[in-house]
């Protein structure tokens, strides 16, 4: 079995996907833009061949890379990056090289378009916020009236993370939005009050989950980026029952097969007409890849499991071979920014929580706007001790109180 893994060195821990695939007997062929000598030794050992390109967003160069590997090793059975930035390129390459194990060009837009997702939520009988594809000011005002007034939220119909998002609180904000927005298709959604929870899963060729996880996020990634706030989220011990049911229903509605998926839901903080009661889960968006950054490692820490191995076994054997772990806890991510000062210096946090912290380091610049510059990931047995760690690690010095940390309000 030949699998091409695109950009296997980013994020850094993605080399584990390749390592587990190779251990399962898969012929792993890498394509990336980093020099071979800069790759981690574990990644080099897992790759049969590495083809370096100058730019991963140059499709002609990517096409030539896959053509070379196909000529040398035979038909490519799988092509994956597990990275939001390359999903469209992955789909186009699959179509051009008749790789039928993943999403092709005819399906990818439904997976990436926020407005296109709405029909799938309806098919799954999962409520989601009303949505308007932005065209004119008049149509936008009509939508604002339809959803009961401001605020509304605007974001690119196809986009990654919090880039280019707007919270529109009044008519002046609406004018500013139309004056400033980039020349891409935007969508406008009714504003929903609540925290964001993820439904993460590795599903087999029948769309059945081999592994499930939930993470709990602060309410607004856009506010964190815009306000240069600290960032915290956590992988939870278990998936809430309604979220599990609705996540599985959305997987089936999208026809997802043989993938690692990351879906985001609002958990309503108050009753919302047309969407549900306080505590219900409402569909937000679907991503056909793992959650960003080092979230797969957080899942491993929370559940004492190896999601890289589960994913590789899904590719190689279409089943899960690892037993379910009896260890369940929280993995808390704390991101600290270089522009802030803290009551507890980094060394003090590391020393105080030496037995709890599983990973710590510098976040790559490409992810630092969202995830902050310095990260710490700790295992905690429950939500209470998770809160204590979060508060200790994120407490800012008095001079920084004007830009205080973003903290989830509790569950």
DSSP-assigned states of every residue in 133-174 = E---HHHHHHHHHHTTSS-EEEEESS--TTTT-EEE-SHHHH
For residues 87 and 20, membership in a common domain is answered with yes
In a domain, 397, yes or no: yes
Residue carrying the six token digits 């969202």:
370
135 burial via Cβ count (<10 Å: 0-12, 13-18, 19+):
exposed
What is the CA 168 to chain-centroid distance, rounded?
A: 25
In a domain, 43, yes or no: yes
Residue ending a domain, among 152, 172, 190, is: 190
Residue ending a domain, among 54, 89, 104, is: 104
For residues 222 and 151, membership in a common domain is answered with no
Determine the structural domain holding residue 333 and report its residue range: 194-403
Q: Which residues of 14-40 are buried (b: 16+ CB within 10 A; e: fewer)?
A: bbbbbbbbbebebbbbbbbebeeeebe
For residues 268 and 326, membership in a common domain is answered with yes
In a domain, 155, yes or no: yes
In a domain, 109, yes or no: no
Q: Which of 225, 297, 214, 236 is nearest to 11 (CA)?
A: 297
For residues 171 and 311, membership in a common domain is answered with no
Instruction: Give the whole-angstrom CA distance, residue 180 versus residue 255.
Output: 37
What is the CA 2 to chain-centroid distance, rounded?
A: 26
Residue 52 exposure: Cα atoms within 13 Å on the Cβ side: 9
Instruction: Give the whole-angstrom CA distance, residue 396 versus residue 393.
Output: 9
Mean pLDDT split into 10-residue runs, the chain, 411 residues:
97 97 98 97 98 98 98 98 94 97 88 87 96 94 95 85 79 94 92 94 98 89 82 96 98 96 96 95 94 96 97 98 92 97 97 98 92 97 97 88 46 39
For residues 399 and 269, membership in a common domain is answered with yes
Residue ending a domain, among 146, 164, 190, is: 190
For residues 29 and 140, membership in a common domain is answered with no
Express the helix, strand and coil content of the chain in percent, nearest 5 each. Answer: 40, 25, 40
Helix (H) or strand (E) holding 351: helix 346-352
Q: Which residue spans within 204-340 are E strands per DSSP?
A: 209-213, 215-217, 231-235, 259-268, 281-287, 330-336
Domain count along the chain: 3
How open is the CA angle 158-162-166, to the nearest 5 degrees? 90
CA dihedral 80, 83, 86, 90 (to 10 degrees): 20
CA R_g for the chain = 21
pLDDT score of 407: 46
Q: Does the pTM exceed 0.75?
A: yes
Over residues 200-221, the pLDDT tens digits come to 999 999 999 999 999 999 767 7
In a domain, 118, yes or no: no
For residues 183 and 216, membership in a common domain is answered with no
Over residues 334-388, the pLDDT tens digits come to 999 999 999 999 999 999 999 999 999 999 998 999 899 999 999 999 999 999 9
For residues 374 and 296, membership in a common domain is answered with yes
Q: Which CATH number do you get for residue 55?
A: 3.40.50.20
Query: Who contacts 205 (Cβ-Cβ below 8 Å, separation ≥6)?
Result: 257, 258, 318
């Amino acid at each position: 079995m030949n699998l091409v893994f695109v950009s296997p060195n980013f994020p850094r821990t993605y080399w584990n996907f390749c390592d587990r695939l190779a251990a399962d007997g898969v012929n792993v062929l890498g394509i990336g833009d980093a020099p071979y000598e800069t790759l981690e030794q574990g990644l080099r050992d897992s790759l049969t061949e590495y083809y370096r390109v100058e730019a991963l967003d140059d499709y002609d160069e990517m096409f030539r890379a896959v053509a070379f590997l196909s000529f040398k090793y035979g038909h490519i059975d799988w092509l994956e990056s597990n990275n939001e930035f390359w999903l469209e390129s992955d789909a186009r390459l699959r179509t051009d090289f008749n790789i039928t194990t993943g999403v092709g060009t005819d399906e990818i837009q439904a997976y990436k378009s926020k407005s296109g997702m709405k029909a799938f939520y309806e098919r799954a009988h999962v409520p989601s916020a009303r949505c308007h594809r932005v065209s004119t000011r008049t149509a936008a005002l009509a939508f604002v009236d339809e959803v009961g007034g401001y605020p509304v939220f605007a974001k690119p119909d196809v986009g990654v993370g919090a880039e280019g998002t707007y919270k529109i609180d009044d008519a002046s904000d609406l004018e500013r939005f139309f004056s400033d927005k980039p020349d891409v298709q935007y969508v406008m959604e009714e504003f929903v009050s609540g925290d964001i929870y993820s439904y993460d899963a590795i599903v087999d060729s029948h769309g059945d989950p081999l592994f499930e996880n939930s993470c709990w996020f602060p309410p607004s990634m856009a506010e964190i980026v815009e306000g240069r706030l600290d960032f915290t989220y956590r992988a939870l011990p278990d998936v809430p029952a309604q979220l599990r049911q609705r996540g599985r229903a959305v997987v089936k509605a999208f026809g997802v097969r043989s993938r690692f998926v990351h879906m985001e839901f609002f958990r309503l903080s108050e009753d919302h007409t047309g969407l549900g009661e306080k505590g219900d889960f409402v569909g937000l968006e679907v991503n056909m890849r793992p959650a960003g950054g080092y979230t797969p490692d957080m899942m491993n820490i929370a559940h004492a499991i190896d999601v890289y191995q589960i994913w590789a076994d899904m590719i190689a054997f279409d089943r899960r071979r690892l037993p379910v772990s009896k260890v369940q806890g929280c993995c808390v991510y704390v991101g600290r920014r270089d522009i802030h000062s803290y009551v507890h210096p980094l060394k003090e946090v590391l020393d105080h929580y030496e037995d709890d912290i599983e990973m710590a380091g510098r976040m790559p610049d490409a992810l630092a706007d969202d995830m902050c510059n310095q990260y710490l990931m700790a295992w905690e047995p429950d939500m209470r001790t998770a809160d204590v760690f979060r508060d200790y690690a994120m407490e800012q010095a008095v001079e920084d109180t004007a830009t205080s940390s973003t903290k989830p309000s509790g569950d």
